[in-house]
Structure formats: structure tokens, C-alpha cells
Structure 1
Amino acid sequence: RRGGSETATARRFRDGDGEGDMDGEIPNIKKWIVLYPVYINSKKTIAEGRRISTSKACENPTCAEIGDCCSHLKLPFAIEIDKAYPRDFMQRGRVRVLLKKEDGTLCNPAISSRKQLMIHVAELVPRHPGRTKKQEPAASTSGSGTAPSKSGKGGKKKR
């Protein structure tokens, strides 16, 4: 859809301190930088869209996790759920982040570039509360029992 107004479900905007808007004014989100989850996904190659090294990247981040990390870093952000990554249109969602205010001052002095933002967010995503709760039950079930092995002959059958 080109032009027109955004739906309420398509875009969620939050200020860095967790409030709905910045001093009652509507920000110009189009000027904010775009952060796709693929940029910090350690499972992707550089050709598939990863922008930071695998040692610094995290495994399969979501838009919600990236948004929570931005709010932790006190950066205003907007989650755009309906937007797709151009190289892989099945990857839905992106996050727009405000690094510099209109007067040119940084929102967070520790983060001055896109790359620094990606590295900081990738460090925070594995420690996300939703992620740590998901991994605990999976680790306990796989460690307690061994998977039954399939017995029988494999390969081609002789005629």
C-alpha cells in the first residue's frame, strides 16, 4: 500500500522511556534509521543481509525484542509489523529508531552510529526476559531423556 494513513496495528511508536509519544508531537518517523532483525541475526550470511560479525550477532531476533532493547537504551523507536525485508519478503517486521534529534544531538550519547546500535541491541537480545524463559524448558526436556533411535536397515532395497 502506498501513501495513505497507517493503521494502528501496523505501527507502534514508543518513546525511549516507554511512553506513547514525545511531548505530544507526532515525530517524523520517515527520517529515522531502519533496523531489520536480519541485520543482527547470526544465522544469516552477509549475502542474506547480516550487517555485523557473527561473534557479536544474536540468534533469530524478533522486532519486539529489538524494540524492548531500544527502550532499555532510552531510544525512541517505532515497530512496523507489516513491512517486509526486501531480500526475503517472508521476514516480516522492522524497527525504526531515532539516533539523533532534530537539533543534531544524540538521544543516547553512547550510541552514535547504526553499527554501534546494532552491536548494542545484539548484546541485549540474548538477555531479553522472554528469551531466557523460552530456553529453560527446552534445555530441561532435552537433557533429561535421550531420543529413541530408529532401528532397521537403510538404503536401497535389492530386487
Structure 2
Amino acid sequence: MMDGGVPNIKKWVVLYPVYINSKKTIAEGRRISVEKACENPTCVEIGDCCSHLKLPFAIEIDKAYPRDFMQVGRVRVLLKREDGSLCNPAIPSRKQLMLHVAELVPRHPGRTKKQEPASTSNAATSKSGKGGKKKR
């Protein structure tokens, strides 16, 4: 078994971005209501939300969603410790985790540019910078 402080993430809950994507249907894998879901969440955003909720998480970028393998990446989250105690008492279940994360993603720092027209120049520069690095 894994010992020595290494967390066994195989036991952690898996959260695919699809689960909380308002653009997806239930058949495509969405697991919460459209009203509560958020638009096209990314693994990084979900991870940041988990850290905000004080939950240990691990992003697995080499994994894809079985029903739609174009959806690459998933987030493993630890809800309960080895002794069975909750990491965050407000989040006892996977369902609660999905609802909390979906609520937080739209407020993610990388998302706020839609509401603030003042920071559009900043958003444009960061985008072009990203593209430039990838091409080289």
C-alpha cells in the first residue's frame, strides 16, 4: 500500500469538467442542473476552486472523459481523510462538491474579464502572449 504521507489519490472523487458544464446535456455527462452549472469549466479553474474550498486536489491531464475523449483532463478531489473525517464540513458529497465548484468557477479570476470592460486590454495581451509562446 501507499504509505509515508503519500496520498492515495485513487480513492479520491473524480470530477470531470463535463459534470458541471452548462453547455452539455445530461446524456453528454452533465450531472447537475443547467441553472447551477457553469459554462465550459477547465480543470485549472476546478482545481483553483477546490483549493479555495480548502480541499486537496490533483489535476490529471493525461486522462480523458470516457464518453467524449476530446474532453481531456479531470480533477481528483479528496473529500474525506483516511479516518473518514471531512476535509471541508460544508462538502460531504460529490454532488455538493460539484454544486460548490460550479458556483465558484464563474467568479474565477481568469473569468472576471467578461464583467470588467476596463481589463480588456490586459486580457488581449495575455492571450496573444500565450499564442506566441506556443508557436515558437
Q: TM-score, normalised by structure 2?
A: 0.81
Offset of residue 133 of structure 1: 2.3
Paired-residue identity, %: 91
Larger Rg: 1
Q: How many residues align?
A: 117
Deviation >2 Å, runs of 4+: 133-137
Q: 2:45 aligns with which of 65, 85, 99?
A: 65
> Could you list the per-position Cα deviations for residues 1-50 of structure 1 after superposition, in whole angstroms to 9, with x for gaps in the alignment?
xxxxxxxxxxxxxxxxxxxxxxx721001000000000000000000000
Is it true that 1:38 corresponds to 2:18 in the alignment? yes
Map 1:76-95 → 2, pairs under 5 A: 76-95=56-75
The answer to whether residue 75 in structure 2 is matched with residue 128 in structure 1 is no
Report the aligned-residue RMSD: 1.8
Q: What runs of 5+ residues in structure 2 fail to find an aligned partner?
A: 121-136
Q: Do structure 1's residue 29 and structure 2's residue 9 form an aligned pair?
A: yes
Aligned residue type for 1:31: K
Matched, 1:101 2:48: no
The answer to whether the 8 Å contact 2:113/2:119 transfers is: no
Q: C-alpha separation between the residues in 2 aligned to 1:134 and 1:60?
A: 14
Q: Is 2:23–2:40's contact at 8 Å kept on the other side of the alignment?
A: yes
Q: Does 1:55 pair with 2:35?
A: yes
Question: 1:34 is aligned with what amino acid?
Answer: V
Residue segments in structure 1 that go unaligned for 5+ positions in a row: 1-23, 142-159
